[in-house]
Structure 1
Amino acid sequence: MKQQNYKNHRKFYPPHHFIYLPVLFVLEIFGLYKIGNDSQNQLIWILFSIVIFLLFYLAFMTRQHYALGLQNRMVVLEFRQRYFEIFNLRSDEMVEKLRFDQIAALRFAYDDEFKELLYKALHENISGDEIKRSIKNWRADQSRI
């Protein structure tokens, strides 16, 4: 494996970056051109351009969805690390018992409240929103987008 440096650190997904998006871009330009130059089929070209735009939009939103999924994974990993630091135990069983909204809400509690709220989440099945409302000393998370 090559050593990573500034020149080779970027990653591209060739089917997406070099085929799919350029083809959509060319098709959108072509559709917009045809709207202005084919008055007989103008409605068809408008619909064509709308469909191509929607495909662009879906490609962009899929990218956003992947980023959010990654953030969610990081929140769970943060929970696992914190659980281990507080209890000196593996968190596999806890993660299976909790819903994501509960795990995400627990990150706003400092360690003393974390223990109490974790117990309530496990035994009383309180929601993530209820966990957040129960926090007395809020631990801000400025990193999540």
Structure 2
Amino acid sequence: MKQQNFSNHSQIVPIFHYGVLIPVLAMITCSTISLYRHYSAGLGLMLPSIALLGSVVLFLVAFLSRSFALKAQDRAIRAEENLRYFVLTGKLYDHRLSLRQVIALRFAPNEELVALAQRAVTENLSPKEIKAAIQQWKGDYYRV
């Protein structure tokens, strides 16, 4: 696996993003067109409606399964990073740090973490700004 950094840390999962989402979106498009054509021609609407409903449900299942996995992982990252910060400082993260900021701080090595966390609180840095401020990137190779 190649070294992670600010410019390449976001992850595309080809089987999910291209092998699932694109076909499901194509199904929604085709079934919508079919429903419209059946409606315009005065034909039965049951089958095209079921096809559209099924493809929308399939999209929701795909989207929510990814969303639920990311939310569970975000909770784990928050706990791990709070523990790491506690080990380094003897204190928990400042309560003013948002979850998104804590998740961005996971890329900071121990040597930069405390100062960057303080800076994130005082300057209200966005997650993108936090990641850009990291000097020695610590990759997260287990993100879903």
- Give the aligned partner of residue 100 of structure 1: 99
| CA distance, structure 1, for counterparts of residue 53 and residue 143 of structure 2 | 32
| CA distance, structure 2, for counterparts of residue 120 and residue 58 of structure 1 | 38
| CA distance, structure 2, for counterparts of residue 59 and residue 132 of structure 1 | 31
| CA distance, structure 1, for counterparts of residue 128 and residue 72 of structure 2 | 22
Q: How does 1:1-145 map to 2 (within 5 A)?
A: 41-89=43-91, 91=92, 94=94, 96-145=95-144
Q: Which moved more, 1:115-124 or 1:52-61?
A: 52-61
Give TM-score scaled by structure 2 length.
Answer: 0.65
Matched AA of 1:132: K
| CA distance, structure 2, for counterparts of residue 61 and residue 128 of structure 1 | 23
Q: Which moved more, 1:74-83 or 1:50-59?
A: 50-59
- Give the aligned partner of residue 7 of structure 1: none
Corresponding residue SS for 1:98: coil
Which structure carries more helix by proportion?
1
> Share of identical aligned residues, percent?
29
| CA distance, structure 2, for counterparts of residue 51 and residue 87 of structure 1 | 53
Corresponding residue SS for 1:144: coil
Matched AA of 1:79: E
Matched AA of 2:79: L
Matched AA of 1:64: R
Where structure 1 has 5 or more consecutive residues not aligned to the other structure, the ranges are: 1-39
Query: Larger C-alpha radius of gyration, 1 or 2?
Result: 1
Runs of 4+ in 1 over 6 A off after TM superposition: none
Q: Aligned-residue CA RMSD in angstroms?
A: 2.2
Preserved contact between residue 85 and residue 114 of structure 2 (Cα < 8 Å): no
The aligned length equals: 105
| CA distance, structure 2, for counterparts of residue 52 and residue 83 of structure 1 | 46
Deviation, structure 1 residue 48: 2.1
